[in-house]
């Protein structure tokens, strides 16, 4: 049976009209997406195309955070422009969450606040990423940096790389943040050993490692709070 076109839908069921009448909260995920991508193909309406985007093993809105440009373009009807639009939706959602999490009262003394700041950005990553936050003498963040991006279960970095950057920005202290794609924030033996190497290297050059926070799936762990620093 052929897919019903947008024009064949009753007026009150068309995504734009539905949004005008009832607000965006009344729209399904596919309807919201169809409003954003605007056009479909000769065979599929924007709504039908949106349903295709959201189906599959990694289906649903979270798929927009996991799929790459080539993976999106494998979907019939998705070219480079629409694939780029979809990637930008995912990135925009991460940035909105991060800004909302930071607010005006974010204290970098709090592991919970730091984890909240990075959670939506890092918990969906399919590779480990190691980030460093550099602070001045007043404990003000002066630079945050992606130090390395590794494999599915390991980030590839050395203390030397971290302290080259710390010295470049004249930091006096730092906090490390990395994610576990498995979703479990429990530190591995390698995580603990790496943290101790960074701490010892920092003592040599006079830059204190304040904490190492591991991001899981809506969960985190502070190695300082666990006495592993």
| Structural domain spans, the chain | 6-98, 104-222
What tokens does 176 get? 């490390």
- Let me know how long the chain is: 229
Q: What is the mean pLDDT of residues 96-111?
A: 65
DSSP code string of 54-93? H-STT-STTHHHH--HHHHHTSTT--HHHHHHHHHHHHHH
| Least confident stretch, 69-78, 199-208, 210-219 | 69-78
The CATH architecture to which 104-222 belongs is 3-Layer(aba) Sandwich (3.40)
Q: pLDDT tens for residues 219-228?
A: 999 999 999 9
Query: pLDDT tens-digit profile of 55-67?
Result: 865 667 777 777 8
- Give the tens place of pLDDT for each residue, 141-181: 889 899 988 765 666 688 999 999 999 999 999 999 999 99
Q: How far apart are CA 226 and CA 72, in angstroms?
A: 41
Predicted local distance difference test score (pLDDT) of residue 104: 47
Going by the DSSP 8-state scheme, the letter that residue 187 receives in this structure is P
Q: How confident is the model at residue 100 (pLDDT cuts 50, 70, 90)?
A: low
Which DSSP symbol is given to 186? P
């Amino acid at each position: 049976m052929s897919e019903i076109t947008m024009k064949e839908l009753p007026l009150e069921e068309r995504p734009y009209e539905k949004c005008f009448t009832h607000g965006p909260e009344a729209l399904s995920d596919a309807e919201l997406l169809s409003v954003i991508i605007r056009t479909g193909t000769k065979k599929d309406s924007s709504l039908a195309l949106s349903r295709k985007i959201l189906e599959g093993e990694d289906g649903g809105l979270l798929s927009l955070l996991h799929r790459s440009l080539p993976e999106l373009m494998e979907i019939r009807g998705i070219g480079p422009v629409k694939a780029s639009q979809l990637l930008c939706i995912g990135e925009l959602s991460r940035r909105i969450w991060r800004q909302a999490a930071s607010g005006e009262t974010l204290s970098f003394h709090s592991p919970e606040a730091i984890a909240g700041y990075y959670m939506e950005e890092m918990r969906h990553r399919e590779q480990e990423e190691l980030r460093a936050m550099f602070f001045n003498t007043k404990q003000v963040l002066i630079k945050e940096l992606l130090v390395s991006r590794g494999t599915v279960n390991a980030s590839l970095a050395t203390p030397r790389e971290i302290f080259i950057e710390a010295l470049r920005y004249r930091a006096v202290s730092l906090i490390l943040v990395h994610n576990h794609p498995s979703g479990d924030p429990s530190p591995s033996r390698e995580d603990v050993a790496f943290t101790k190497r960074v701490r010892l290297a920092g003592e040599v050059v006079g830059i204190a490692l304040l904490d190492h926070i591991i991001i899981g799936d809506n969960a985190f762990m502070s190695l300082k709070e666990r006495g592993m620093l």
